[in-house]
Amino acid sequence: MSDTFKALVINQDGENFTREVKSLEKKFLKHGDVLVKVEYSGLNYKDALILKNGARLVKEFPHIPGIDFSGKVVESKNENFKEGDEIILTGWRVGEIYYGGYSQYAKVNGDFLVKKPNSLSSREAMILGTAGFTALQCSFAVKSREELLLGDKVENVIVTGASGGVGSISVMILNKFGYNVTAVTSKKDNHEYLKSLGAKNIINTSDLDKESRPLDKGLWDGAVDTVGGNILSNVLAQTKETGIVAACGNAVNIKLNTTVMPFIIRGVKLWGINSVNASIKRREFLWNEAKNLVDLEKLNQSIKEISLEELLDVYPKMLKGQTTGRYIINLNK
């Protein structure tokens, strides 16, 4: 690698919080045993929060954020990786307590890395990124009702927060599984887009954002919930016998006001999804399935590719709900 490289560095000195694209030297990178030339990183909501003020997730400053990235190994002291290996990283608190992907080079623990499948390009890996990986986990949790648990076939599923990254990709995957997908969104402008991804029906978020009954009419064999709160309570009350609800987000509320009735009367399963600490074996399986389940050409239509410098202008808009589609950062731009 060259003696210097470009990275986005955040710092805090008292009440003064700064974010700046800087030229750094290799010795700045202090974590891990594998050095990666980063090609792409993603902009996730958690990234935007960290860029705003550290989000109480960053413990030491100065710091390089970026919770996911793809790239190529240039140096390795880890027996599982060698120079030239193409890799994907999501989770493991990289970008939070370890330096992350908003940098032309990243040094990380090799145990955090997955070798990129040949079926995906480095760019496609970050078109999916943390959102796509989480959507894959959620969708396979729903599918496990008929495969792992040998229950009735899944037919009707619901996805909340369907306009978001996890939600929209989940719509696409669940449709690919052959399920009838109902998408829940507050954005009327996205109805046609969600139908193009495979949603058969659209429900307005406000229809579910209300006090739930202990049990309601059973409508769903499975669900992917990205929002929490009353919406998740209503989804649980409307889930059929032995249905599975995969919960991965709290965009509306972290609180859940429900009863034991869906669980003890209908045997509903609430499956919590944590994409940060998923096992390497599970990661490898899901990344290898991605190409078969996600229409990357269609997703690419909503992708905006930006530089580190442009990222500083974009992240505040994400926090205000003024962005659409997914942003990926090209570290060579």
Query: For the chain, what are the domain ranges?
Result: 4-116+302-330, 131-272
The amino acid at 186: S
CATH of 131-272, one of 3.40.50.720, 3.40.640.10, 3.40.50.300, 3.30.420.40: 3.40.50.720
Per-residue DSSP letter, 120:
S
Structural tokens at position 326 = 């997914």
CA distance 274 to 281: 15
Separation between Cα atoms, residue 174 and residue 188, nearest integer Å = 21
Class of the CATH domain delimited by 4-116+302-330: alpha beta
At residue 1, the pLDDT reads 66
The CA distance from 17 to 62, in Å, is 10
pLDDT for the residue 5: 97
Which pLDDT belongs to residue 14? 87
Alpha helices in 225-326 (DSSP H): 229-237, 261-265, 280-293, 296-300, 308-319
Task: Compute the distance between CA of residue 268 and CA of residue 182 in angstroms, rounded to an integer.
Answer: 19
Q: Which helix (H) or strand (E) holds 173?
A: helix 165-176
Report yes or no: 57 and 94 within 8 Å, Cβ to Cβ: no
Write out the chain's pLDDT in tens, 333 residues: 678 999 999 999 888 999 999 999 999 999 999 999 999 999 998 999 999 999 899 999 999 999 999 999 999 999 999 999 999 999 999 999 999 999 999 999 999 999 999 999 999 999 999 999 999 999 999 999 998 888 899 999 999 999 888 999 999 999 999 999 999 999 888 899 999 999 999 999 999 999 999 999 999 999 999 999 999 999 999 999 999 999 999 878 899 999 999 999 999 999 999 999 999 999 999 999 999 999 999 989 889 999 999 999 999 998 887 887 789 999 998
What are 124's two structure tokens? 């496609």
Task: Provide the 3-class DSSP secondary structure of residue 241.
Answer: strand
Q: Is 261 helix (H, G, I), strand (E, B) or coil?
A: helix
Q: Is 86 helix (H, G, I), strand (E, B) or coil?
A: strand
C-alpha span between 170 and 162 (Å, rounded): 8
11 beta partners: 18
Q: Report the alpha-carbon distance of residue 225 to residue 204 in Å, rounded.
A: 14
